[in-house]
Amino acid sequence: MESHILVRVLVFSQIFVRFCYANQESFIQCMSSNPSLGYIKKFDFIHSRNSLSYRSLLQSAEQNPRWINSTTSEPELIITPYNAGEIRTAITCSKKHGFQLRIKSGGHDYEGLSYTCKTPYVLVDLVNLRSISIHLEDETAWVQTGATLGELYYNIAQKSKVHAFPAGLCPSVGVGGHISGGGLGTLVRKNGLAADNVIDAYLMNADGEILDRKSMGEDLFWAIRGGGGASFGIILAWRIKLVRVPETVTVFTVKRKLDGEAVELVGKWQHVASRLPENLFIRVVLQHIAGTGEAIFNALFLGNAEELLPLMKMRFPELGVKELDCIEMSWIESAIYFAGFESSSSPEVLLDRIVRYKSSFKAKSDFVQRPLPESALSGIIERLAREDIAFAIMDPFGGKMDEIGESESPFPHRKGNLLNVQYLVKWDGGETTRHVGWIDEVYGFMEGYVSSSPRGAYLNYRDLDLGFGEGAESSYSRGIVWGRKYFKGNFERLVRVKTMADPHNFFRHQQSIPMLLL
């Protein structure tokens, strides 16, 4: 009996492989025969599994090795388009030959959704769509979504010493996904999220039409600024508003052992950090690495050390910040500093798209509305010590975040939230179950201390454990579970926009915005 079953499985597998191969060949023929691309003689942007470039492109996409050799399949083809016409053709041919699409701008999505899929799919890697145009006359920029944050920061600094953009710390993160999920960074208290500073966009829908803010309408423009662009189409470019920064900013990093003193300091920090002047951002990283635990207070002040020191002495004297701790620099140097590069590094390091060290990781997130008691902080520290590489990263809110209404964008975690906390564990090798079990325990332990009804989560720290399953990409009832954690009351509006903008649910993945049940 078992042998018959094995034979049937093998026969099915062979048929499936032949089917996929035939579809792959048909897809390539579809791309090459499209009249709009007739002028191209060499389709060097189409990479099959037989291409020398295929494996390196796939490896560059996989920023979380946890998903390498997972149960999900590899893409049938990787498309690296140079223009909108090639993307449009990829959409047309995918629909014609039954492939799903995955869209990658940087590949840093936590659950690998931009480069994994359980059904045959084509990966559209936007690495070649990375032009950046800075316009200081109106303090705006157009940035294509294949560009990285580091490339954006570098290009701004080449034009101005007093302009910046409020986005994340990791320079190799792709602009497209980062902005469409919200975008937290060191300027969040001064200028809000990256998505709060978007003023226009180009989006290609499932019909291959390119829409700007006016033609897509305010509902869809609202949805892609924090609701996850990949649910609605392919973001081609963002028009962003640059923000002013002083020529001189100040940073400091103060470290303490993970002990009772650290618990007291973090406890005090919680009461202070969200109420400080918006020019001052102090984050806390609780970490345990190779047997050593530290509480790290990491700050950016939009001003000089002479202004910062009396402010710290008055508002947070317990931290004991001294003049020697403070380093004055330009804003672009602070981007290098927070990215973890050596202090002597030139701005060109921000242009490196290659992540030098990749390790498997799993993360979860929470929003904190009441200061965590010592029991919660001690519990986190105790659990961090059980892992080789583990973190609890706390980013303060307040300032500008208190001024933006929770329905002004899909990101609802605004006034009333003291901070966001991310729990993160990293490992090498295949011991996934143990490490994921550890972070599940931390998440369960924190339940009574964080936001509730719903318990909030941050979309850019994507967590499939919040609720998904087979068919979840088209199930409204399943989507409610995770949708309200990410978006609270904004979830229903996102569902309505999705139903209007992509009525055939072409753009979908395990946690894409579901369709309205009609």
Task: Enumerate the active-site residues.
Answer: 461
Question: Residue 284, Cβ neighbours under 10 Å: how many?
Answer: 21
Smallest CA-to-CA distance from 487 within 370, 389, 367, 397 is with 367
Q: What is the rounded CA–CA span in Å between residue 266 and residue 283?
A: 10
Distance CA 154, CA 330 (A): 12
Copy the structure tokens of residue 294: 């530290």
Strand ranges for 51-191 from DSSP E? 77-79, 100-104, 121-125, 132-135, 140-144, 163-164
Q: What's the rounded Cα separation, in Å, for the pair 248 and 107?
A: 33
Q: Which residue has the tokens 């959704």?
A: 113
Q: How far is CA 175 from CA 5, 39, 143, 148, 501, in A?
A: 48, 30, 8, 5, 22
Rounded Cα distance, 77 and 54, in Å:
8
What distance in Å separates the CA atoms of residue 55 and residue 58, rounded to the nearest whole number? 5
Closest-CA residue to 193 (of 257, 131, 244, 240): 240
Question: Which residue is it, tokens 């014609």?
Answer: 96
β pairing state of 360-368 and 243-244: unpaired
Helix axes of 260-272 and 374-384: crossing angle, nearest 10 degrees: 130
Nearest to 59 by CA among 3, 101, 133, 115: 115
The backbone torsions φ and ψ at residue 364, rounded to the nearest 5 degrees and listed phi first, read -140, 165
Cβ atoms within 10 Å of 23's Cβ, excluding its own: 18
The helix (H) or strand (E) run that includes residue 237 is strand 234-241
Query: Which three-class secondary structure state does DSSP give residue 409?
Result: coil
420 in Cβ contact with 183 (< 8 Å): no
- Give, as one character, the DSSP assignment of residue 81: -
Residues in the chain: 518
Backbone angles phi, psi at 481, to 5 degrees: -60, -55
